[in-house]
Amino acid sequence: MASGETLTSGSYITHHLTNLTFGQRADGSWGFAHSAEQAAEMGFWAINVDSMGWSILLGVLFIWLFRKAAKSATSDNPGKLQNFVEWIVEFIDSSVRGSFSAKNDLVAPLALTIFIWVFMMNFMDLIAVDLLPWLAQLFAEHVLGADPHHVYFKVVPTTDPNITFGLALGVFVLMLYYSIKIKGVGGFFGELAFQPFGKLGMPVNLLLEGVSLISKPVSLALRLFGNMYAGEVIFILIAIMYSAGWALGIFGGFLQLGWAIFHILIITLQAFIFMTLTIVYLDMAHQEHH
């Protein structure tokens, strides 16, 4: 939004769904985008600073909490944090044992990291939609001396497809690595070229298996992004009701409370689905077909 621009519902939604983007502007200079259009013009190499910042911060918080629980662990009188961490670890361990039939010491820690990290990023959706962007604008205006209307600040990393695709591509790389490590290059190519129709159906096999392989990271990323983005849009639409009079404001408050309670299930379920599919895909990568 530019200074003096009238705030409309459309501009409010656009402002909340635009990332704080750093990149090269059309004139060749580098800096933060001052509009959604300018952010789009920056192209592929632009960085969504808010998504990256929150992802890293939440990842560090996850490591710190679990490290703190591990260092203070005791069998005599476990605290609440230790009990919670042990419950999570046992839950992840049972999920891995139920879905992963091979032996790989990486899978359980990876599953734990994915579940907690994705859950924490999703959980940011439960924070009031205006609170952190408003604080970011105050910081920009009073500390940095910048125009607060040019400050965009998305706080839910999983509503950014760059983050969800980054996570999914990491899983995809592990799938390829273990597929080739376990089966060899020939075995991996053989699965793509000779199944399900044998040698005579090689072109069709490559097409079907290639699409199936590529669809795994794409569906993994888009499922998480789509659900979280839709949830964030609903929170923003409910927030607009607060400016439409006291009656709609009160109604919007009840709607927001109800949606937030329901959304707790969504953010947990999406983290669980991402983790479970990762385990299943890695299990498939470890299976040899004869």
Catalytic residues: 219, 223, 227
CB within 8 A of 164, min separation 6: which ones?
Answer: 158, 220, 221, 222, 224, 225
Supply φ then ψ for residue 48, to 5 degrees.
-80, 95
Is residue 90 within 8 Å of residue 114, measured between CB atoms? no
Is residue 46 within 8 Å of residue 22, measured between CB atoms? yes
- Distance between CA atoms of residues 219 and 212, nearest Å: 10
- Distance between CA atoms of residues 15 and 20, nearest Å: 10
- Distance between CA atoms of residues 172 and 217, nearest Å: 6
Is residue 192 within 8 Å of residue 214, measured between CB atoms? no
Map residue 34 onto helix, strand or coil: coil
- How many helices and strands in the chain, by DSSP H and E? 9, 3
Instruction: Give me the count of residues in the chain.
Output: 290
Is residue 17 within 8 Å of residue 39, measured between CB atoms? no
Map residue 110 onto helix, strand or coil: helix
Dmax (CA) for the chain in angstroms is 70
Name the one residue in this structure whose structure tokens are 């010491």: 105
Torsion sign across C-alpha atoms 28, 31, 34, 36: positive
